[in-house]
């Protein structure tokens, strides 16, 4: 398709807004900008952007409010670009539904790569629905068979424990998205396990030993340090292999 993706940049600092806008244009995106939360609301509802690049420190409100606002009715991808570097801030933004989080200062290539990933992920959501229909998730040599509750690498059954299977299957259902530790714990074992990341670390070490060729350099499940885990997307995997 030749129609360009439209990116809304919500950023009050003129120089940064201009910088992001320029690099996006060079990379073949259309851009629109908002310099306050109020302006952002108008742009979001009247200009139908394909993705939002969001600064959290806005003059009239906390950018987190914008994530909440959008997530009430839409899965529109949101990438936070913020000077806030604490893990707590990242976790909060991701839990409210941001797709990704980049800290300032950031590299041009990094921003473009994250935007492309988020857009691809948004498009892959339909194919995630196909996972829901067929019961099969596939990325590279990894297959999750949700009907049989089994996981295969290269066609060979990987014998996971029940807890290991639960973690991998949850990540597979949300492939491409970082799931926070607390979210995973709450989904799988209820709110009482909140903060007990040790369970996840132990299970993840075992999972990686079973599914990854080199557990130290995982290809299927990535760690976002201090935040959570992310399963590779099917399309991401194919692209990587194509480019070899
Ligand atoms: Ca700001």
**Measured in angstroms, how far is the CA atom of residue 181 from the centroid of ligand 1?**
28
**Average of pLDDT values for 197-204?**
94
**Measured in angstroms, how far is the CA atom of residue 85 from the centroid of ligand 1?**
14
- With bands split at pLDDT 50, 70 and 90, how would you rate the model's confidence at 160? very high
Mean pLDDT comparison of 23-27, 68-72, 239-243, highest-scoring range: 23-27
**Measured in angstroms, how far is the CA atom of residue 116 from the centroid of ligand 1?**
23
214: pLDDT strictly greater than 90: yes
Pair of tokens at residue 38: 């109020």
SS3 state of residue 179:
strand
For residue 1, what pLDDT is reported?
38
> Do the Cβ atoms of 2 and 50 come closer than 8 Å?
no
Domain that holds residue 206: 129-243
- pTM as predicted: 0.65
d(CA 55, CA 151): 39
Task: Write the DSSP assignment of 48-89 as a string of letters.
Answer: --SEEEE-SB-SSSBHHHHHHHHHTT----EEEEES---HHH
Q: Could you give the angle at the alpha carbon of 151 between the alpha carbons of 149 and 153, nearest 5°?
A: 165
Looking at 71, 93, 124, which one is the last position of a domain? 124
Q: State whether 238 and 210 are in the same domain.
A: yes
Residue 145 belongs to a domain with what CATH number? 1.10.10.10
For residue 168, what pLDDT is reported?
95
Q: Of the ranges 34-38, 93-97, 143-147, which one carries the lowest mean pLDDT score? A: 143-147
**Average of pLDDT values for 231-244?**
68
**Measured in angstroms, how far is the CA atom of residue 71 from the centroid of ligand 1?**
21
Q: State whether 95 and 135 are in the same domain.
A: no
Share of the chain above pLDDT 70, in %: 93
Share of the chain above pLDDT 90, in %: 63
**Measured in angstroms, how far is the CA atom of residue 11 from the centroid of ligand 1?**
6
Looking at 98, 124, 150, which one is the last position of a domain? 124
205: pLDDT strictly greater than 60: yes
**101 - beta bridge partners?**
80
- Give, as one character, the DSSP assignment of residue 212: -
- Structural domain contains residue 220: yes
**Measured in angstroms, how far is the CA atom of residue 66 from the centroid of ligand 1?**
14
Picking from 230, 237, 235, 212, the residue whose alpha carbon sits closest to that of residue 154 is: 212
**Measured in angstroms, how far is the CA atom of residue 57 from the centroid of ligand 1?**
4
Residue where the block lists tokens 């903060």: 195
- Structural domain contains residue 211: yes
Residue 24 belongs to a domain with what CATH number? 3.40.50.2300
Q: State whether 105 and 135 are in the same domain.
A: no
**57 - beta bridge partners?**
62
- Structural domain contains residue 153: yes
For residue 74, what pLDDT is reported?
81
Q: State whether 135 and 79 are in the same domain.
A: no
**Measured in angstroms, how far is the CA atom of residue 26 from the centroid of ligand 1?**
23
d(CA 93, CA 83): 13
Picking from 2, 3, 22, 16, the residue whose alpha carbon sits closest to that of residue 54 is: 16
For residue 244, what pLDDT is reported?
44
Q: State whether 148 and 106 are in the same domain.
A: no
Q: State whether 120 and 164 are in the same domain.
A: no
- Structural domain contains residue 111: yes
Which residues have CB atoms below 5 A from the ion given as ligand 1? Answer: 12, 55, 57
**Average of pLDDT values for 193-212?**
93
52: pLDDT strictly greater than 80: yes
Q: State whether 64 and 174 are in the same domain.
A: no
Q: State whether 150 and 120 are in the same domain.
A: no
Q: State whether 75 and 158 are in the same domain.
A: no
Q: State whether 67 and 39 are in the same domain.
A: yes
* Residues 38/33/98/48 CA torsion (nearest 10 deg): 90
H/E stretch holding 9 reads strand 6-10
Domain count, the chain: 2
Looking at 124, 141, 169, which one is the last position of a domain? 124
- Structural domain contains residue 183: yes
Average pLDDT, the chain: 89
181: pLDDT strictly greater than 80: yes
- With bands split at pLDDT 50, 70 and 90, how would you rate the model's confidence at 239? low
Q: State whether 80 and 172 are in the same domain.
A: no
Q: State whether 20 and 95 are in the same domain.
A: yes
- Structural domain contains residue 1: no
């Amino acid at each position: 398709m030749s129609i360009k993706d439209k990116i809304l940049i919500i950023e009050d600092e003129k120089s940064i807004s201009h910088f992001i806008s320029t690099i996006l244009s060079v990379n073949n995106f259309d851009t629109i900008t908002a310099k306050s939360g109020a302006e952002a609301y108008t742009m979001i509802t009247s200009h139908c952007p394909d993705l939002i690049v969001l600064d959290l420190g806005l003059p009239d409100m906390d950018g987190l409010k914008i994530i909440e606002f959008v997530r009430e009715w839409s899965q529109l991808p949101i990438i936070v670009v913020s000077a806030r570097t604490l893990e707590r801030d990242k976790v909060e933004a991701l839990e409210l539904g941001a797709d990704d989080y980049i800290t300032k200062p950031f590299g041009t290539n990094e921003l473009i790569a994250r935007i492309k990933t988020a857009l691809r992920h948004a498009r892959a959501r339909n194919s995630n629905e196909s996972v829901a229909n067929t019961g099969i998730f596939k990325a590279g040599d990894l297959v999750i068979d949700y009907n049989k509750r089994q996981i295969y690498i290269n066609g060979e059954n990987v014998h996971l424990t029940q807890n290991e299977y639960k973690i991998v299957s949850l990540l597979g259902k949300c492939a491409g998205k970082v799931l926070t530790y607390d979210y995973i714990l709450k989904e799988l074992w209820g709110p009482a396990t909140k903060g007990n990341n040790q369970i996840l670390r132990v299970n993840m070490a075992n999972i990686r030993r079973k599914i990854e060729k080199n557990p130290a350099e995982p290809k299927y499940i990535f760690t976002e340090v201090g935040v959570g885990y992310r399963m590779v997307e099917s399309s991401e995997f194919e692209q990587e292999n194509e480019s070899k």
